[in-house]
Amino acid sequence: MAIGFSETSMMLQLINQPAPEKMFHDHYAFYSSTSNYMARHFKDFADEVLQSGYLTIKDPFVLELGCNDGIMLRNFAEKGIRHLGIEPSLNVAAEANKHGVRILSEFFTEQLAESIVQEQGMVDAFLAANVMCHIPDIVGVVKGIRRVLKPTGVVMFEDPYLGDVVSKTSYDQIYDEHVFLFSALSIQYLFGLHGMDLIDVLPQKTHGGSMRYVLAHRGAYPVKNSVTELIARERAQGLDRLTTFKTFGANVEQSKRSLLILLKELKSQGKRVAGYGATSKSTTILNYCGIGLDLIEYISDTTPIKQGKFTPGMHIPVVPYETFKANPPDYAVLFAWNHAEEIMAKEKDFISAGGKWIVHVPEVRVL
């Protein structure tokens, strides 16, 4: 897997990505609602949209891209607000449907935007979380957004933030689904090419550091100071320059060396090490570092569809959470480090029984 950076578009992206149909289908493995913290986050997000003042008062229409199991849209459905979720993965879409969420099970494209406008009208708010960065034809998505959004409408979407990936060396955000890692610079450039303004940015704690971008048709709303300030910070951090990513690459190699030294040392001391959370991120770490069964005996995960399977490439067994509880290791590698707060609160017993966490961001260490 290789990544590239363009100093023109200031975009960091994968060079190759598998076909979307190979990743998003009727047995997509990620269910958003496995995290209680994320459920709260999306309830707050929905409330912020409703209180933002951007929606028309009479019969507002909200569209969400990649709504998954309805973690955010169920908050609109419960209030009887007109909404539509676009979700190509049938298994998670069915779950959303159970929560009263209206779904169109398709990939979002410019053509789909046209048919939504024809059949249901334009939208007040176009929402998305952790999905814009998944879509290789991002230009098609931006054109679709421009078509479907009312003249007074707003786009609000969030994704893992490039600034955090660079400052924390969290290279595990780079995997097949994440074709892009966005910054305010790249989003402003991309949407600017299509007549849209970045009007606000709101940093988020989720997924190890995310950014929420607010956009609108050009001139519809003033650009907030938050945008100008973040753009200046990004230039100071070097997110507009290739050299920054060369340094990032060297930091990634150092992170790999440190993790391997630690795991091999623990192995030589006869310690048992397991993984916590069979995340997509862990697939990058395991394969890039070459960590297999010799160093990690299993990875536990609460998602039923992941259990009883093996991690892609390194073939470490993914076991139910109950296995971790019944047979805890001496050390657990926190692959779901973005959920650290929630997990630490839940796993006090593991610590009091002498268990220890291994984290790799912002640097490899034992907690």
Could you list the residues that contact ligand SAH (CB under 6 A)? Answer: 20, 24, 28, 30, 32, 65-66, 68, 71, 86-89, 92, 107-108, 129-131, 134-135
172 binds ligand TMP, rule: CB under 6 A: no
CB closer to ligand SAH, 179 vs 216: 179
Supply φ then ψ for residue 86, to 5 degrees.
-105, 115
Residue 282 CB, nearest distance to ligand TMP (Å)?
9
Residue 139 CB, nearest distance to ligand TMP (Å)?
26
Residue 312 CB, nearest distance to ligand SAH (Å)?
17
User: Distance (Å, rounded) from C-alpha 306 to C-alpha 314?
Assistant: 15
User: Distance (Å, rounded) from C-alpha 182 to C-alpha 203?
Assistant: 13
What residues between 1 and 40 interact with ligand TMP by CB under 6 A? Answer: 30, 34-35
Residues in CB range of 262: below 8 A, 6 or more apart: 358, 364, 366
Q: What is the DSSP string of 130-147?
A: S-GGG-S-HHHHHHHHHH
Largest CA distance in the chain: 67
Exposed (0-12), middle (13-18) or buried (19+): which is 13, by Cβ within 10 Å?
A: buried
CB closer to ligand TMP, 52 vs 280: 280
| Beta strand segments in 98-184, E | 103-104, 123-129, 149-160, 180-181
The count of chain residues that interact with ligand TMP, using the rule CB under 6 A, is 18
CB closer to ligand SAH, 56 vs 115: 115
What residues between 284 and 323 interact with ligand TMP by CB under 6 A? Answer: 301-303, 306, 321
CB closer to ligand TMP, 25 vs 79: 25
User: Distance (Å, rounded) from C-alpha 64 to C-alpha 49?
Assistant: 12
Residue 220 CB, nearest distance to ligand SAH (Å)?
24
**Token couple for 137:** 């034809």
Site residues (vs ligand TMP, CB under 6 A): 30, 34-35, 277-280, 301-303, 306, 321, 336, 338-339, 342-343, 346
